[in-house]
Amino acid sequence: MEKSAATKRREVTGSSMAKKSAPRALTQSKQTRRKWLTFIRMCRYGVNNFSRNAWLTIAATAVMTITLLIIFMTLIARQVLVDTVTTIKDKVDMSIYVKTETTDDQAQAIKKEIEKLSTVKSVSYISPDAARTAFANQNKSDAQTLDALNEATNKLPGTFRVNIVDINNPSQLDNFVKTNPVYKPHADPNRPASFSGERRSAIQNIGLAVQFAERAGLIASVIFIVISSLIVFNTIRMAIFNRKEEIQMMRLIGADRSFIRGPFIVEAVVYGFIAAILATILGVGALYAARDKLESYDVAVGATIQNVTLYIGVVLVGMIILGAAIGVVSSLLATRKYLKV
């Protein structure tokens, strides 16, 4: 069966399109290969630049290491501060007192009422007998205090120790003490709750000090990171300044901006890679070396060390990415001056 005219036209059109697409695909392949070769050359030149001037390389790597170490220790110090502040908050509890004759069942009913409050984290009850025993154990070496305790006619009250979410805001607990029908009949009239009167002022002062420490730690972290980044930027800019004639010569022979920038970016990434490894080793080592001393001052450093050790791979990768990012940004900003038309 003979082909129709329309079929023949489609075959001719398809054949011509195939002939046109073949050179186009070949051109794209050559362009891809050329870009890949250019990238390899830039990496090779960057590595050569890194090893060409030993003293400049050592200086830039040392500054980058110190910078990343400062950032690492700043972030670690920030986390340790947060953990220590949390520990202090947990140690600050509110005391609610009940009459000595309050039974255990009545105390448990009051405890359940306190636990219903949304701002309460935990509640513990100390009975009068338990409080007397604890007081005697604390002063067992003081004979006069023990004699006074045995002769005392006033018995110790039952005590509820309450930890709340925000020690600066005990309003819900204060309202409980004033209005709760289960607690009020058993409240000790001679001992107001610890978050009222002068004791409340003391707790508020602790809370304000903790809040100030959190904010000061955050501000200090930002300042140290900014200063460190500026230092490493100036160091890389100095390294590029020493080769400004080389940059101008490459421009004169018609090199692309990306090709001129490439070796410097690769060099900065190498700086960041080596510095990140050194900074991580030094930072983790310093953390372990200072652990016993810090814990002797009740600084909560144990959880941070445990997390760093557990996720050391993630920490190292993060430091490498950070070092490379700082190096790349600094290199781009420094080379921009010499690439302006």
Report pLDDT digits (tens) over 5-32.
Answer: 555 455 545 555 544 455 565 566 666 7
User: Is the pLDDT at 145 greater than 70, yes or no?
Assistant: no
Mean pLDDT of 31-51: 70
User: Which of 106-120, 194-208, 261-275, 323-337 is predicted least confidently?
Assistant: 194-208
Query: Would residue 146 be called left, alpha or beta, if left means φ above 0 and alpha means ψ between -120 and 50 degrees?
Result: alpha
The model's confidence at residue 311, banded by pLDDT at 50, 70 and 90, is very high
User: Is the pLDDT at 57 greater than 70, yes or no?
Assistant: yes
User: Which of 98-102, 152-156, 230-234 is predicted least confidently?
Assistant: 152-156
Mean pLDDT of 156-176: 84
Distance in angstroms (rounded) separating the CA atoms of residues 103 and 110:
11
- Summary mean pLDDT of the chain: 77
Instruction: Choose among 70, 72, 81: nearest CA to 301.
Output: 81
Task: Give me the percent of the chain exceeding a pLDDT of 90.
Answer: 9
Distance in angstroms (rounded) separating the CA atoms of residues 307 and 79:
11
Residue 132: what pLDDT?
A: 75
pTM for this predicted structure: 0.65
The model's confidence at residue 43, banded by pLDDT at 50, 70 and 90, is confident
Distance in angstroms (rounded) separating the CA atoms of residues 159 and 335:
69
User: Is the pLDDT at 127 greater than 80, yes or no?
Assistant: yes
User: Is the pLDDT at 71 greater than 80, yes or no?
Assistant: yes
